[in-house]
Amino acid sequence: MTTVTSGGADPVTVLARAPGRVNLIGDHTDYTGGYVFPIAIDRYTEVEMERGTPWVELVSADEEDAAIVSLDDPVDPASVEPAWARYVAGVVAMVRPDTGGRGFVRTTVPIGAGLSSSAALEVATALALGLEGTPLDVALACQRAEQIASGVPCGVMDQLASTSGVEGHALLMDCRALTVEPVPVPGGAEIVVVDSGQRRKLATSFYGVRRAQTEDAETLVGSLREATLADVEQIAHDDLRRRARHVVSENARVLAFAEAFRSGDLVAAGALMVQSHASLRDDFEVSTTALDELVDELTATPGVHGARLTGAGFGGCAVVLAERGARIDAGVDAWRVRASAGASVTVLSDG
Ligand code: GLA
């Protein structure tokens, strides 16, 4: 992440840019301190802002109404209208900037498709408002912004992927130690995102229920990061046992997947993705019929090593690991993504 500071006076116009992410493997593991393996993608949200007003005012080509947030009149971000302004308000509440600004937002991250459009907006807004710190500092502030804006008790993966992306690399994150290890995407691998067309809203999904179930399971067997499959088989409650089994088995799959990437074994990596999808479908129960059918169609496509739902589930996108040049014609849209650098901010004019 590149941070440009103003050297005293506020810069007049800044351009902050933050990527979305696609998670290759490791879903619903971040909030129990497990492992995840996303890439920052070559789709971005940009916030261009002229600093200097005592409020923040952003317009977006994708939204009818502007986001207007006062700096000195604290409001509950979750109650702000229009709904997209809640993320801006959440960031303002976390950054507490001395000076606001006016400007616009544009994005190439599909909104609500499971590619972290909200994290990209938060990170770009925070950087435009002058938040400084390590990629982890910025990610933690923006994770909190997302939580207070949406009421969803999300983990840190999306914001950390957006701030810590490395070109050509996937990111092995340890969500307990809060470390990020870049792992090169093997030559010959193609990562394709396929949109199911099914849109979801995390706040209205079962995300909070699932998180609570993993916490309940932890009261029975201790940290799921440490628990073994034998431990979780002792859980008498059927739902809790299956939720815990997903987390424990998914953490192991992430580590095995990272190893397969390091050795360039795309066939092994693809098989792990298929197992991950089955676990999210059967044990964690966050898939949909549309996603299951899409993943079945994709895994039967020549040149595809593996496919799975990506992100929270309940709709959104599938991610595919394929060989170069594989022809993927499924879902409502499919496009190749490249592992990209993390968020940055530049001063366009300093008055
Ligand atoms: C959402 C959350 C993340 C993570 C995923 C599921 O994207 O924001 O923190 O929990 O769901 O892996």
Q: How many whole angstroms from 27 Cα to the centroid of ligand 1?
A: 7
Query: Mean pLDDT of all residues in the chain?
Result: 94
**What is the pLDDT, as a whole number, of residue 4?**
46
Q: What average pLDDT does this structure show over 316-332?
A: 95
> Which H or E element spans position 245?
helix 238-262
Give the Å distance between the CA of 40 and the centre of ligand 1.
Answer: 14
Q: What is the pLDDT of residue 72?
A: 82
- Residue 155, burial from CB neighbour count under 10 angstroms (0-12, 13-18, 19+): buried
Q: pTM for the complete prediction?
A: 0.95
Give residue-wise pLDDT tens across range 190-248: 999 999 998 876 656 689 999 999 999 999 999 999 999 999 999 999 999 999 999 99
Determine the pLDDT at residue 64. Answer: 95
Which ligand 1 atom lies nearest to the CA of residue 27? 12
For ligand 1, mutation pick of 116, 147, 158, 159 (most atoms within 8 Å of CB) = 158
pLDDT score of 189 more than 50: yes
What percentage of the chain exceeds 70 in pLDDT?
95
The span from the CA of 166 to the CA of 164, in Å, is 6
Q: Determine the length of the chain.
A: 351
Q: Which atom belonging to ligand 1 lies closest to the Cα atom of 116? A: 7
What average pLDDT does the segment 161-184 reach? Answer: 98
Mean pLDDT on 276-289: 97
Could you list the active site residues?
158
* pLDDT score of 1: 63
Residues with CB under 6 A from ligand 1: 27-28, 30-31, 154-155, 157-158, 311-312
